[in-house]
Amino acid sequence: EEVTVDVLGNVIGRVGSGDLRVMFSAHMDQIGFMVRGIDRSGLIRFSPVGSWDSRVVLGSRVLIHTSEGPVLGVVSVKPVHFRGMFPDEFKKAPEFHNMVIDIGASSDEEAKKMGIRVGNPITLYAPVERLKGSKLAVGGGFDDKAGVASMLLAMKELASSGVPEGVSVYFVASTQEELGARGARVASFKVNPKVGVAIDVTHAKAPGVDEKLTSIELGKGPAVGMGPNFHRRVWEGLIRAAEEAGIPYQIEPIPGPSGTDAHVIQVTREGVYTGLISLPLRYMHTGVEVLSLEDVANVGKLIAEFVRRIDASTFP
């Protein structure tokens, strides 16, 4: 019914006009890099934006986003054939200040003619593809564009059924979550919700990440957060909605701050009834993140079913 964009770039959509304000927030930003210098040789120096494991960056293809369009480049890597000459270098994780991006330019002037400027943002070149013979997808930026996609699916469901009388539902595609949930902090202050639910990703079982680290699995449904960052009325409402609608779900115990938009939503103004729905994800913060498309759809369904069951008596 209404879409606005605030100063920090949050996109906020509203459905309904009741006094009970319910907000869902999924961040649309992703980790990346920034150009910090151009060598005379035309190589690009860069710095990380967000939390990166430098081991996954070497040898990757990247896109430098300029005012004239994206420029493809590769993060240079020393071939393994030189390992005998530099044995110590191959035994440790590389440091970002020693990395450069090769865009095919032979000088700094040529790089500038291609549109490269200090401060340009950079992302991994990681197109989305399906893994053959499965309902899994692989790509980059699923953290947390997949959450935004789930919200869009929920909006599509609610467009046909509407929202309960007396309820306003706000869907926020937030910014700068990877830098401290700045967008959600601003959006939740503006919306001033009674109930706020973050939509994000969580670690799923994968090679090297077993039940000692997580109990969450791909394809087993959304993960509902439990812990001090969330309110019992919200997680119980999410579980009830899932069970009544036949949506598979998992429980994710989080004993402290969740590291999601929920962390700042909870302490907005005089406090917010807060919850978290997470998408299981393998290989987070890489260019080969893997998720289940069924989980994405089921998160959207769970959001819609939760909204359909909300009333003011549940959240006084």
- Annotated catalytic residue 178: no
DSSP per-residue codes, 183-231: HHHHHHHHH--SEEEEEEEEEPPBTTB-TTT----TTS-PEEEESTTS-
Catalytic position from the list 2, 89, 95, 177: 177
Q: What is the C-alpha R_g of the chain?
A: 22
CA distance 270 to 196: 13
Which two structure tokens, joined as six digits, stand for 309?
Answer: 């069951």
Burial of 9 (0-12, 13-18, 19+ CB in 10 A): middle
Give every CB contact of residue 207 below 8 A, 6+ residues apart in sequence.
none
- What is the distance, to the nearest Å, from the Cα of residue 286 to the centroid of all Cα atoms in its chain? 12
The single-letter DSSP state of residue 53 is -
Burial code (b: 16+ CB inside 10 Å, e: under 16) for 92-102 equals eebeeeebbbe
Q: Active-site residue numbers?
A: 177
